[in-house]
Structure formats: structure tokens, C-alpha cells
Amino acid sequence: MEHNIMQIGTLTIDLHRKAIKNLYIAVLPPAGNVRVSAPLRMSDDAVRLAVASRLTWIKKQQAKFMGQKRQPKREMLSGESHYLWGKRYLLEVAATAGKHRIDLTHHKIKLYVRSGTSHNNKLAVLEQFYRDELKREIAKLLPVWQDKMGVEAKRFGVKKMKTLWGSCNTVSGSIWLNLELAKKPPECLEYVVVHELVHLLERYHNARFMAYMDKYLPGWKQRKALLNNFVSEA
């Protein structure tokens, strides 16, 4: 299988050439990325023409994803809804003379900040809380799955990503996970961790990759669907 990125006007497509007879176009959640599977012998010009002929359909599919239910923009005010591990919490902002911190109760995320703290600094405290939560859970999951699969990630990290839930550098053995995963149900994080570890066995999303996913995490497709359809932020 061959894999590369192709630009068609303002549209970027993830092009996979395979031993197939027909061309297939998929618009993927959550961001509406376009993946095209094309026959090995189909020319670039033929691919461009085929995609251009479906451009109206592609734009409609992307618009559907953009129109899905999303949380309103974060104002970091008391009463807002925020998510942690798939559970909805109400934000409560309280004043403190000490260090900024977050306390978690059964129903609330209590954010303690000094009077006059800016919106961005409040958000930074919450994001650090999410980052710490996510790193702790990843550190629990990795040893379990590395032992099951016979692979080892040399390092892992957490960062904001706009279009990916995770990424794996197969050369360095580094795995990165999207900060937003802390807001999703725990089974979604486990799916992404396994997905990225499988890349240490198979670099590409081919039949061999899917076979590994089926072997190690039966039901991964349901977890993927849950991840991509769970309420997300604007």
C-alpha cells in the first residue's frame, strides 16, 4: 500500500493506494478529514477528477460534523458544564489567597483562583488539571498493554491536537495523546492507546493493522464511534 497527502484546491486528502478496483472516499469525524482509497494504477489526475466530482457531497459531510452538538465556548464562569472521563461536572469558581488549584467533588469541578485572575489563566489551571489526569491514566494503561502486545513506547506525552486523537513516531517510539481525551469516557482513551501501540507493530492503517486491533481490542470500532460522537467543545 502507498500513502501520501494530496492537495486539491483548498481540500487536503489523505490518499491511500491499494490493490483495489474502485476508488472510495470517506469523510471522517470529528474534524471532517478526507481519506481516499484508490487503485494502485490510478493516476493522480484521475484521483483529482474523481474527488472533484464528489466535492459537493464532501462539503455536505464536513458541514454535518461541524454542525454536531458542541459545548459553548468556555467562559470559565461558575455554572458552566465541563467533562472529565465522560462525566458532566458543573464548574464552581472560588476565590483563594493561596496557590491556584482544583478540587473535584461528585458533581463539581471547584476552581480556586486569586481575585482578578484572567480567563486565560483560569483556563490554564483547568487544562493542567486535565493534563495531570490524562498522564496518570496513560501511565496506568501503557504497562498493561505493552506487556500484552510485546511492544514498548520509548516515551509518551500529551498535547493539544486539532485533527488527531493520538500519534505515533515509529522511528523514535514516541506516542502523543490528545489533551481532549481526558474529557472522553475512559474506554476511548484505552482505544487510542492500543491504536497507537499497534503502530509499533504495523505503521500503516492496512489489513494487518486492523487484524491487530481485532486481536487485541475486540469491539474497538464501537469505542472509536463513541469517541468520535461524544459531545465535544467548540
Residue at a domain's end among 66, 89, 120 = 66
Q: Is residue 227 part of a domain?
A: yes
Work out the burial of residue 73: count CB atoms within 10 Å of its CB; fewer than 13 is exposed, 13-18 middle, 19 or more buried. Answer: exposed
Domain co-membership, 116 together with 215: yes
In the chain the first and final C-alpha atoms are separated, in Å, by 36
Q: Are residues 149 and 215 in the same domain?
A: yes
φ and ψ at residue 30, rounded to 5 degrees: -90, -15
Q: With respect to residue 76, please indicate whether it lies within any of the assigned structural domains.
A: no
What's the pTM?
A: 0.72
Same domain? For 50 and 147 the reply is no
Q: What is the CATH number of the domain that holds 113?
A: 3.30.2010.10
Residue 87 and residue 46 in one domain: no
Whether pLDDT at 229 is above 80: no
Query: Using 50, 70 and 90 to split pLDDT, how confident is the model at 31?
Result: confident
Indicate whether 73 belongs to any domain.
no
- Residue 145: predicted pLDDT: 98
Q: Provide mean pLDDT across the span 61-83.
A: 77
Residue 232: what pLDDT? Answer: 53
In a domain, 41, yes or no: yes
- What percentage of residues in the chain have a pLDDT greater than 90? 70
Which residues, at least 6 apart from 77, have a Cβ–Cβ distance to it below 8 Å? 91, 93
Per-residue model confidence (pLDDT) at position 228 = 79
Number of domains in the chain: 2
Q: What is the DSSP letter of 159?
A: E
Q: Residue 187 falls within a domain, yes or no?
A: yes
Q: Which domain holds residue 139?
A: 81-233
**Is 75 part of any domain?**
no
